[in-house]
Amino acid sequence: MNWAIAILQTVLFVALAPLLAGFLKFCKCRLQNRRAPSFLQPYRDLLKLTRKQPVISENASWLFYVAPYIIFTMMILAATVIPLIAVDMPTSESADVIVLVGFFAFARFFLALAGLDIGTAFGGMGSSREMTISSLAEPAMLMAVFTITMTASNTDLSGAILHILHSGSTLHPSFVFALFALILVAVAETGRIPVDNPTTHLELTMIHEAMILEYSGRHLALIEWASQLKLMLYGVLIANLFFPWGIAQSFTFGALSFALVVLVLKLVVLSIFLALAETAVAKMRLFRVQEYLGFAYLLGLLGMLSHIILESTR
């Protein structure tokens, strides 16, 4: 039974990811006074891509073919770790938050290699920039997450969420720092404005798009879906880690469906905020990104220190 719910939750994660992307696009369009495509448009795009014949460069090696599958698999694994609507899933014990970061690193490793595989300048450019940004973002993310896990003295996400639920509504100043750090990192890692622009078509500013420039057909569908999933993963991580109220602690139908409704509300609020930010802020220069991520890291560090100095029981 528990396993069935765990699998159901993962499937739900994967199935809802394009919807979140569609809703985000809807919000952005409305903010920019444009007519929005249907919420279901990302699903149609994915379906169209899977039906198309992939066109692949003659320079491609096996790694180029395999990478999309690996990337998507890693995102699915990450989805099994993050509690979506219920805590204490059997799958969540198999990996903690450090492994979660490891899954993202795994996917990124292959994405960057795939970018280098064809041997064009754009691919290399994208890989180089992606690895640069992620190597600055990863410590900031771990700092933010460690603040939470140290409070809960538990690096399992489920355990950390349960600890926060049970500790009542005490205000932790460290959580505020960690929350902002994690939001900054999430924006950078999912390739949103101001770090990267997912809709850009100007090659020199591309990061994520430059790496996947050579992909088409079902391979592109997998990569696109994986990046939508990544956005959702970060959204759920922020929503459930910092605002866990409403998540199901027992596997009854009532609790689960209530949790789903609450989760949808949380994600709607988050995506409205993200759309607002993306509309209000301009993309920054590549060499400003380290200041941005340095700030995120500093916030994470401040969170950690304020936990140690202010909140620790000793």
Partner 1 sequence: MILHLAYSAVLLSLASAVFALLQTRFNALVFLFLGLSGAFAIAAGVGELLDQTVLIDKIPLGLPWQAWHIRFDGLSAFFLLIIGIAVFVVSFYAPNYTMNEQKDPQSFAVLSLFTGLFIAGMMLVLLADDAFMFMIAWELMSVASYFLVAFKHENSANRRAAFLYLLMAEVGALLIILAFGVVASFADGFTFDALRASAIPTIWMSIAFGLALMGFGMKAGLVPIHVWLPEAHPVAPSHISALMSGVMLKVALYGLIRFCFDLLPEVHWQWGVVLLIIGTISALSGILYAMMQQNLKRLLAYSSVENIGIIVMVLGLSMIFLANNHKELAALGLVAALFHAFNHALFKNLLFLGAGMIHHQTHELNIDMLGGLIKKMPETSVLFLIGCMSISSLPLFNGFVSEWLAFQTALQVDVLDNGVLRSMIPVSAAALALTAALAAACFVKVFGLIFLGVPRSRHAEKAKEIDSFSMMIAPVILATFCFFFGIFPSVILDLLSGVTSHIIDATLPQTSVLTPLWLAPVSMQQASYSPFLILISVLITALVLFFFLHGKGATKARIVPTWDCGFGALSPRMQYTSNAFTMPLRRIFATAFLIDEKIEKTMRENTKLNVAEVRYSLHIQDHSWVHVYQPIERGVNRVAKQVGRIQTGNIRTYIGYSLATLILLLWVVSL
Residues 138-167 that bind partner 1 (CB under 8 A): 138-139, 142-143, 146, 149-150, 153-156, 159
SS3 61: coil
Structure tokens at 142: 């771990």
Burial class (CB in 10 A: 0-12, 13-18, 19+), 170: exposed
Residue 112 sits in the site that holds partner 1 (CB under 8 A):
yes
Quick one: 35 or 285, whose CB is closer to partner 1? 285
Residue 47 sits in the site that holds partner 1 (CB under 8 A):
no
> DSSP letter at 251?
-
Provide the minimum distance between the beta carbon of 298 and partner 1 in the complex, in angstroms, as a whole number: 11
Residue 176 sits in the site that holds partner 1 (CB under 8 A):
no
Structure tokens at 51: 């039906």
Nearest to 151 by CA among 169, 163, 166: 163
> CA distances (Å), 197 to each of 44, 115, 118, 192, 194, in order?
22, 17, 23, 5, 7
Quick one: 173 or 217, whose CB is closer to partner 1? 217
Quick one: 30 or 218, whose CB is closer to partner 1? 218
Residue 173 sits in the site that holds partner 1 (CB under 8 A):
no
Q: 86 has which bridge partners?
A: 248
Determine which residue in the list 61, 167, 252, 257 makes contact with partner 1, applying CB under 8 A.
Answer: 61
Determine which residue in the list 30, 173, 217, 256 makes contact with partner 1, applying CB under 8 A.
Answer: 217
Quick one: 134 or 190, whose CB is closer to partner 1? 134
Residue 200 sits in the site that holds partner 1 (CB under 8 A):
no
**Dihedral, CA atoms, 32, 230, 272, 33, nearest 10 degrees?**
10
> CA distances (Å), 151 to each of 9, 82, 107, 301, in order?
27, 18, 29, 14
User: How far is it, in rounded angstroms, from Cα 46 to Cα 257?
Assistant: 27
Residue 80 sits in the site that holds partner 1 (CB under 8 A):
yes
Q: 248 has which bridge partners?
A: 86
Quick one: 135 or 252, whose CB is closer to partner 1? 135
**Dihedral, CA atoms, 297, 150, 172, 274, nearest 10 degrees?**
50
Determine which residue in the list 19, 26, 37, 128 makes contact with partner 1, applying CB under 8 A.
Answer: 128
Quick one: 228 or 271, whose CB is closer to partner 1? 228
User: How far is it, in rounded angstroms, from Cα 40 to Cα 205?
Assistant: 28
Quick one: 24 or 178, whose CB is closer to partner 1? 178
Helices 173-189 and 289-306 cross at an angle (nearest 10°) of 150
Determine which residue in the list 88, 89, 127, 246 makes contact with partner 1, applying CB under 8 A.
Answer: 127
Determine which residue in the list 13, 72, 234, 242 makes contact with partner 1, applying CB under 8 A.
Answer: 72
Nearest to 42 by CA among 187, 278, 186, 221: 221
Site for partner 1 in 236-275 (CB under 8 A): none
Determine which residue in the list 17, 27, 179, 222 makes contact with partner 1, applying CB under 8 A.
Answer: 222
Provide the minimum distance between the beta carbon of 250 and partner 1 in the complex, in angstroms, as a whole number: 19
Which listed range, 19-27, 54-62, 193-201, 276-284, lies at the site for partner 1 (CB under 8 A)? 54-62
Residue 304 sits in the site that holds partner 1 (CB under 8 A):
yes
> CA distances (Å), 159 to each of 12, 86, 125, 151, 206, in order?
21, 12, 40, 11, 38
Determine which residue in the list 209, 214, 224, 278 makes contact with partner 1, applying CB under 8 A.
Answer: 214
Which listed range, 27-35, 46-54, 240-248, 252-260, lies at the site for partner 1 (CB under 8 A)? 46-54
